[in-house]
Amino acid sequence: MKKIITLFFLIASVSIFAQEELNNYKYIIVPKQFDAFKEMNQYQTSTLVKYILENQGFNVFYDDDLPSELSANRCLGLLTVLVNGSNMFTTKTAIAFKDCNSKIVYTTAEGTSKIKEYKGAYNEAIKETLNGLNYFKYKYAEQSSEPVVVSFKNDVKNITPKVEQTATVENKAVEVVENTNNKKNEVVALKPAAVPLKSDKTPEQVFYAQSIENGYQLVDSTPKIVMKMFSTSKPNMYLAEDSTKNSGMVYTENGEWFFEYYEAGKLIKKNLSIKF
């Protein structure tokens, strides 16, 4: 009885962990030829993995037939990897799921088979290793659905004006002064030096970086998500996609951040002001 209870809690904990990890990704990618084999779809392993995952509710695509959204942003999907631990007497397999940075986010329990014929053995082992995913309901948890909180603390400074009240008359700065004799207010023009200079330069827009899975999302002061940046193997270099679906690269150069992407065959380079 204790063994049954222990096994139950083990399965439950594994399935909860799998759900938390796999629900963060919209797609699953299945290679038509796993690295463990010399031929495409050898022993029908690729078709079997795709079939089982689709029946478990995942959005599954072969690696040579990706939807446009996934092609533009590979970080939306996980790549399946067949881990082959077979020996002369037993066929052993597990399925690992890798993110766009080749980091393994989840690996199934190992499935085994003692069938001597290879096709039957790999079919039995793969079915067993993917059975653990039957214990949870897959549902994509879209990152942008989370509430966005932006803090503007210390971003605005208070400025004390030199005069208590000012008014504008025909584009000239004036000061309201109380006349102590007749208790009426008079309008006295200030010196030209007190008139603020008008600038045509647009204030620099600041974006605020918020941590997400595998990178950051940038929000403006609305707040509105304007871009998502996904980590690469190099520091301060990210794969990025903005709110208008422009896909490119965000990186630092001489202490400044830039977003580069192609638009109508032309390379565009934009300067970004980012607060982390």
Instruction: Tell me if 178 is assigned to some domain.
Output: no
Whether the pLDDT of residue 7 is over 50: the answer is: no
**What does the pLDDT average to over 141-163?**
49
pLDDT at 18: 54
Q: Residue 21 — pLDDT band, cuts 50, 70, 90?
A: confident
The residue among 162 and 215 whose pLDDT is bigger is: 215
133 and 6: one domain? Answer: yes
Q: Tokens for 182, please give them.
A: 């007749």
Residues in a beta bridge with 167: 174
Would you place residue 8 in the very low, low, confident or very high pLDDT band (cuts 50, 70, 90)? very low
pLDDT tens-digit profile of 177-203?
445 455 455 555 554 544 444 433 334
- Residue 119 within a domain: yes
CA distance 150 to 85: 48
Q: Is residue 176 included in any domain, yes or no?
A: no
Contact 242, 175 (CB under 8 A): no
In a domain, 173, yes or no: no
Higher pLDDT, 38 or 1: 38
Quick check: 38 pLDDT over 60? yes
Where does a domain end: 122, 141, 160? 141
240 and 135 fall within a common domain: no
Share of the chain above pLDDT 90, in %: 41
Local confidence band at 47 (pLDDT 50, 70, 90 cut-offs): very high
Position 1 scores a pLDDT of: 47
Please state the domain count of the chain. Answer: 2
Q: Do 113 and 213 fall within a single domain?
A: no
In-domain check, residue 168: no
Mean of the per-residue pLDDT values of the chain: 77
Same domain flag for 96 and 213: no
- What's the confidence (pLDDT) of residue 46? 96
pLDDT at 11 over 80: no
If you average pLDDT over residues 227-254, what whole number do you get?
A: 88
Q: Which of 88-92, 147-151, 232-236 has the highest mean pLDDT?
A: 88-92
pLDDT at 245: 81
* Domain-embedded: residue 183: no
Least confident interval from 137-141, 223-227, 242-246 = 137-141
**224: pLDDT strictly greater than 90:** no
Looking at the fold, whether 34 and 130 belong to one and the same domain comes out as yes
**Domain endpoint, select from 97, 115, 141:** 141
Instruction: Annotate 32-73 with three-state secondary structure.
Output: CCCCCCCCCCHHHHHHHHHHHHHHCCCCEEECCCCCHHHHHC
| 148 assigned to some structural domain | no
Q: Are residues 122 and 229 in the same domain?
A: no
Residue 251 maps to a domain: yes
Query: 141, 162, 185: which is the final residue of a domain?
Result: 141
Q: Give me the domain span that covers residue 250.
A: 206-275
Residues 63-89, mean pLDDT to the nearest whole number: 92
